[in-house]
Amino acid sequence: MTYQFDFGVLLPYWPQFLHACLLTLWLAATAVVCGFVIGIATVLARRSGMAVLRAVALSYIEVIRNTPFLVQVFFIFFGLPTIGISFTPWTAAFIALSLNCGAFSAEIIRGGVDSIPRGQFEAGAALGLTPLQVFRYIVLKPALRIIYPALSGQFILALLTTSIVSSISAEELTSTAQLIDSDLFRSFEIYIVATLLYFALSMIFSFIFKGIDRAFFSYPIK
């Protein structure tokens, strides 16, 4: 092997890498939170009495879940401007990731809601609560406890998915790595560093989430 590894040249770039990690976390966090809200709305729409709402919610979930994120990003960033709706790369990335997380969250949340016994909905209704109140006061909390592991997994997945938005040059870890690559032409070293940074982020967060799980959601609930 004749290739000489040189990680030293990357040292001066550590502030960029650090900044990019924070941006990646920020994008993932905002999109997951926004996706969670979309997810709740979608679950409510799927349970609504109006057939149109149910159909819209179901099509949204199925279309997002059965098409690649890359195509969704391209559709939003390159496609929508031709009908007069244009975004900056960052906004397009945020919208695409939120919509993506929304569909997956909706399925996770639905799983949690389905795990609540029917009798509790009926009891709530019998007490004169509106469906929204039943959801807010009776269903949401225990359901949250059940779906917590899947939801925290969703954050890690979103964190890893953000790398795809580098394809529209939204400024995050992967596109920062690509920028540095165009300075240094040390692709292999740069992507090793970027990969290890992603790995460190996902390990740190899965550790934190496990801690939260033990602290708040660990007592038997079934």
Partner 1 sequence: MIRDFGLLEVLSILQGMWTTLALSAVAFIGGGVFGTLVALARTSAWKWLRALAGAYIDFFQGTPMLMQLFLVYYGLPVFGYHVSAWTAVSIGLTFHASAFLGEIWRGGIQAVPKGQSEAASALGLGYISRMRDVVLPQAVKLSFAPTIGFLVQLIKGTSLAAIIGFVELSRSAQIAASTTYKPLIAYGLAAACYFAICFPLSRLSARYERRFATNT
Residue 175 engages partner 1 in binding (rule: CB under 8 A): no
Query: Which residues does 164 contact at the CB level (< 8 Å), separation at least 6?
Result: 69, 70, 73, 174
CB of 194 to partner 1, least distance (A): 6
CB of residue 39 to partner 1, shortest distance in Å: 18
- CA gap 162, 75 in Å, rounded: 16
Tell which one of 62, 114, 122, 183 touches partner 1 (CB under 8 A). 62
* Contacts with 174 (C-beta within 8 Å, 6 or more apart), sequence order: 162, 163, 164, 165, 166, 194
Please report whether residue 192 would count as binding partner 1 according to CB under 8 A: yes
- Alpha-carbon span 181 to 177, nearest angstrom: 6
Residue 23 neighbours by CB under 8 Å, 6+ apart: 171, 172, 173
Longest dimension (CA), the chain: 77
Least Cβ distance, residue 167 to partner 1 (angstroms): 5
Told to check if 187 binds partner 1 by CB under 8 A, we report yes
Stretch that binds partner 1, among 11-19, 45-53, 77-85, 121-129 (CB under 8 A): 77-85
Give the C-alpha separation, 163 to 180, whole Å. Answer: 15
State the Cα–Cα distance between residues 112 and 217, nearest whole angstrom.
14
Q: How many residues bind partner 1 (CB under 8 A)?
A: 41
Shortest reach from residue 153's CB to partner 1, in Å? 10
Q: Find the shortest distance in angstroms from Cβ 206 to partner 1.
A: 8
Of 10-18, 111-119, 163-171, 207-215: span binding partner 1 (CB under 8 A) = 163-171
Site residues (CB under 8 A) for partner 1? 1-3, 62-63, 65-72, 74-75, 78-83, 156, 160-164, 166-167, 174, 187-188, 191-192, 194-195, 198-199, 202-203, 206
